[in-house]
């Protein structure tokens, strides 16, 4: 059976279109994949007094939550100030990496951590341990010279 040039040309065009659309779909999927990102968010609803404002830490890595539950032992707790001091350094390094680091896509988006806000002990502790998780479990360096949390 002989095929004409026009039939071959149509087949080639259909294959090119198929490859093009598959590439677009793969690009969309790759861009929407979860990243190791953390977000500090307020639980403030309308009418809540500022004194009762609470904050949550949202991570987009389900494995961190399990890991954190295993390693958040009260025996290893330090002061809130200790965690705040390290978190300031880590947040600065994280945000720098998000804007210009070699692994920019992992560190996006930047972390909205205000140094003048009292996020409380629990959030600062969890955020500190998230940074430890990224550096020591995922093996992605955020900054040089960070502390070891004493659990590795």
Q: Write the pLDDT tens digit of every residue in 50-70.
A: 455 788 888 888 899 999 998
Q: Assess whether 66 and 94 both reside in one domain.
A: yes
Q: Write the pLDDT tens digit of every residue in 119-151.
A: 999 999 999 999 999 999 999 999 988 887 666
Q: What are φ and ψ of residue 39, in 5° steps?
A: -140, 130
Specify the pLDDT at position 141: 92
Specify the pLDDT at position 92: 95
Q: Assess whether 79 and 24 both reside in one domain.
A: no
Q: Assess whether 123 and 86 both reside in one domain.
A: yes
Q: Assess whether 26 and 92 both reside in one domain.
A: no
Q: Assess whether 20 and 91 both reside in one domain.
A: no
Tell me, yes or no, if the pTM score tops 0.85: no
Q: Assess whether 75 and 117 both reside in one domain.
A: yes
Query: Quick one: DSSP state of residue 89?
Result: H
Q: 3-state DSSP call for residue 150?
A: coil
Q: Based on the structure, what is the number of domains in the chain?
A: 2
What is the domain range of residue 63? 38-152
C-alpha distances in Å from residue 52, one per residue of 41, 43, 48: 14, 10, 7
The mean pLDDT value for 13-30 works out to: 52
């Amino acid at each position: 059976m002989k095929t004409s040039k026009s039939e071959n040309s149509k087949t080639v065009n259909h294959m090119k279109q198929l490859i093009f659309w598959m590439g677009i779909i793969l690009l969309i999927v790759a861009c929407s994949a979860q990243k190791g990102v953390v977000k500090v968010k307020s639980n403030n609803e309308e009418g809540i007094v500022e004194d009762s404002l609470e904050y949550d830490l949202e991570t987009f890595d389900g494995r961190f939550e399990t890991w954190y539950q295993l390693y958040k032992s009260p025996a290893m707790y330090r002061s809130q100030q200790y965690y705040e001091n390290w978190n300031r350094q880590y947040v600065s390094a994280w945000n720098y990496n998000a804007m210009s680091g070699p692994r920019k896509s992992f560190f996006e988006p930047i972390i909205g951590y205000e140094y003048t806000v009292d996020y409380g002990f629990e959030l600062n502790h969890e955020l500190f341990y998230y940074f430890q998780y990224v550096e020591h479990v995922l093996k992605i360096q955020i900054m040089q010279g960070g502390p070891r949390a004493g659990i590795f």
